[in-house]
Each structure stands twice: as C-alpha cells, then as structure tokens.
Amino acid sequence: MGFIENNSTSTLDAIDIRILKLLQANSSLKTKELAAKVNLSTTPVFERVKKLEKGGYIKRYVAVLDAEKLNKGLMIFCNITLKEHTREIGDQVVKDILALNEVVECYNISGDYDFFLKILVKDMKEYQNFVLDRLGRIQNIGSAHSTFVMGEIKNTYSVPI
C-alpha cells in the first residue's frame, strides 16, 4: 500500500491522498462510495481509512453547523495579552479560556499578543456581557483587542494536500 506510519505526507500514496481529500469534502461518505471514487473495492478502502485514522491523519469526523441559524452569527477575533508570563499563569489562562463556550478557537501566538481567540455570539449585547462577565474575570489578562467580522469571504476546514 505504500503506507508507513509517521507524520509525513510523503509516506502517503496517491490513493491515500485522494481518500483524504474526499473525506475532507464530505466526511459522511460511506466506504462503498469512497471505493467507487478511488476505483478500488471496499475492503482495501476500509483498511486504508482505518490506517489513516490510526496514523492520526484523520483526527475526527464532524458536522459543520450554521452559526447564524443557531443564533450565534456574530463572529469576533480577539487578541489577548497577558500581564505576566509564567508557566503557571499561562496554564491557568488556557484552562480558563477552555471553559468559555463562546470561544470556538484559541491559538497561542507570537508577536504583540499572546493569544488569538475566535468567538461566536448572538449579537453585540451578548459579546459585551461575555467580555464583562466572563472574559474580563480571567486573572492576568492585560488587554483584549476585538475585531468584528463584517462578512465572511472564505471559510474552509480543509488542510491543503
């Protein structure tokens, strides 16, 4: 099969890459449908998918929901700086951020800010309450700079392969 378990795409063959691309586009494809699209029978496709999962190439399968239809249509990107930089403070801030349901993505970044958050809420009033009642209560946050999304131009969950 040309599959060696490590974290390099150079160990994946063309069929593995095709399977990954197809699953990125539609993770609900059944093995039979995948097999037809890559011109193999179901058994080798099933085995390849299991190896891709076991090798960590496929982390999980999810349904992508419409935030607006679920009344969470306001997207905010928030840059956070910390007052102090110690391992203990950083670990506690991360723990506190992980507990905030409104934060759907969080990245520890370099540069002028320490963290980059993607936040989904209903509207500006809900964001104001979130900042004052939840985010603002996290100790050691020095500042938070918010950018409000006016329109989404591109949003993909695909990894370019």
The pLDDT tens digits of the residues spanning 85-135 come to 999 999 999 999 999 999 999 999 999 999 999 999 999 999 999 999 999
- For domain 74-148, the CATH class is alpha beta
69, two tokens = 């239809």
Q: Is CATH 1.10.10.60 what the domain over 12-54 is classified as, yes or no?
A: no
Could you tell me which of 21, 70, 69 has the C-alpha nearest to residue 49? 21
Domains of the chain, residue spans: 12-54, 74-148
What pLDDT, on a 0 to 100 scale, did the predictor assign at position 9? 54
What pLDDT, on a 0 to 100 scale, did the predictor assign at position 159? 93
